[in-house]
Amino acid sequence: MTICSISTAPGIGAIAIVRVSGPQAFDIVGKLTRADSRFGEWPARTAHYCGLYDGAQLVDEVVMVKYAAPHSYDGEDMVEISCHGSRYIQQKILELLLQGGCRLAERGEFTMRAFMNGKMDLPQAEAVGDLIDSQSESAHHLAVNQLKGGVSRTIADLRDRFIQLAALLELELDFSEEEVEFADREKFMQLLSELKKEVQRLVASFHSGNALKNGIPVAIVGKPNVGKSTLLNALLDDDRAIVSDIPGTTRDTVEDTLTVGGTQFRVIDTAGIRQSADTIEQSGIERSFRAMEKADVILYLVDASETPSEVTAELGRLREEFSLNEKKIFLIINKIDKTSIEKNQFISGIKDAEILAISAKNRQNVSDILAALSRYAEACAAGDHTLLTNARHYDLMRGIAADITRIEEGFATGLPTDLVAIDVRSALDKLGQLTGTITDNDVLNTIFGKFCIGK
């Protein structure tokens, strides 16, 4: 069936693109042009200017490009019509195409056809959606890497090594009646160990990959009236949060996004942490704790008048109570414009926390925080290794890690080889689901249903 849709964003613009794809694409579009345009003679992948007509009535003067199968985005005959961005013109062209025999494309149908026609595998198709949704340089970089096959190559390598495992097991099964264990058990265990290490790395990479894709969560934490809202406004260069000398002004989390060095951060201003009888303020403090637990980065803000011992004790309590040891903590000493302070005084008592001294009110040294966040993001993305960014990939990879654990346990407990082989085949099955060689219609509909119409 030939499909059509508007592929540009809704609304009025200088130009809109209407896309037509399928076996009758050339015939349907050709009937909307005049004979003197010689539409049928146009070579593929060249742009041509011509009129588009409803009978004798000119609808618009457009630029069209023909793509002959299989050399098109979705592997089918395709025409892209660039028209003026009037809503009326866009809808009129769609109406004429529908009258000619097209049907409206569903969400993501062009990309689904590209997948079904072998133009891309499933991770690459998912990367198209990520590329469209990318809001920062880091998210864009991750999507482009996946679109170019970075994840696919990693999965293909894993699959090849699992096939080697399966082959070694089959060799042993071939001699099972003679009760002979194959000589290459050591090679098998070495392969399994390498696979385990790579799968564990991929599973662990999802945390960083997902954060770089969707924005790294950063919580500004501290006692009341230490300048947390002032710092949020300084980082955003905007009066986003209410600032007051009255302690406890912030009673809910205030969140906004900040892009530093091409990476997006989701910065959260929290209510000041203290004991309070005010039920509303206490509710805000509990939200502060939840924000702190979910954050990857903690900006722990203190007043420069506080003593190092006070800061050390409170930060130590928070570390223990909220399991902050896995998070990146920056100790931010604020209000240095009011108190003479040397940040070195804090170094001996504060472990594993980078210490910065600022005046949020005067925007003094706030750039140091931005630079520190940028360094953190660079560390997350460091190296040439593939990062998982997709929850579906993450879930399947965790399943593969569980299969490897069962394989190890099977050998440790003397499980028969044919039962161990079941877990190897299970891992291969999950790798097939990752790339789309093993497909489920519900999964495909879920993936492509998230796309915009026209893509």
Q: What is the pLDDT of residue 177?
A: 52
How do residues 145-175 score in pLDDT, each as one tens digit? Answer: 888 888 999 999 999 988 888 887 777 665 5
For the record, the structure tokens of 126 come out as: 């998912």
Neighbours of 14 (CB within 10 A): 6
> At residue 196, does pLDDT exceed 60?
yes
Q: What angle do CA 445, 387, 203 make, to 5 degrees?
A: 80
With cut-offs at 50, 70 and 90, classify the pLDDT of residue 109. very high
Residue 427: which of 443, 447, 411, 407 has the closest Cα? 407
Residue type, 445: N
Q: What is the pLDDT of residue 184?
A: 60
Overall average pLDDT of the 229-241 stretch: 80
How do residues 311-332 score in pLDDT, each as one tens digit? Answer: 777 777 777 776 777 788 898 8
**Buried (b) or exposed (e) across 285-304, using 16+ Cβ within 10 A?**
bebbbebbeebbbbbbbbbb
| 230 contacts 272 by C-beta, under 8 angstroms | no
Measured CA to CA, the distance from residue 213 to residue 215 in angstroms comes to 6
3-state secondary structure of 73: coil
Is the whole model's pTM more than 0.85, yes or no?
Answer: no
> At residue 245, does pLDDT exceed 70?
no
3-state secondary structure of 423: helix
> At residue 354, does pLDDT exceed 90?
no
> At residue 202, does pLDDT exceed 70?
yes
Q: What is the pLDDT of residue 360?
A: 87
| 143 contacts 131 by C-beta, under 8 angstroms | yes
In the chain, what are the domains? 3-116 (3.30.1360.120), 137-210+390-436 (1.20.120.430), 215-380 (3.40.50.300)
Q: How far is CA 234 from CA 64, 254, 308, 447, in A?
A: 49, 14, 25, 39
With cut-offs at 50, 70 and 90, classify the pLDDT of residue 290. confident
With cut-offs at 50, 70 and 90, classify the pLDDT of residue 265. very high
Helices in 119-247 by DSSP H: which ranges? 122-133, 137-147, 150-174, 185-214, 228-236
Measured CA to CA, the distance from residue 83 to residue 124 in angstroms comes to 29
With cut-offs at 50, 70 and 90, classify the pLDDT of residue 244. very low
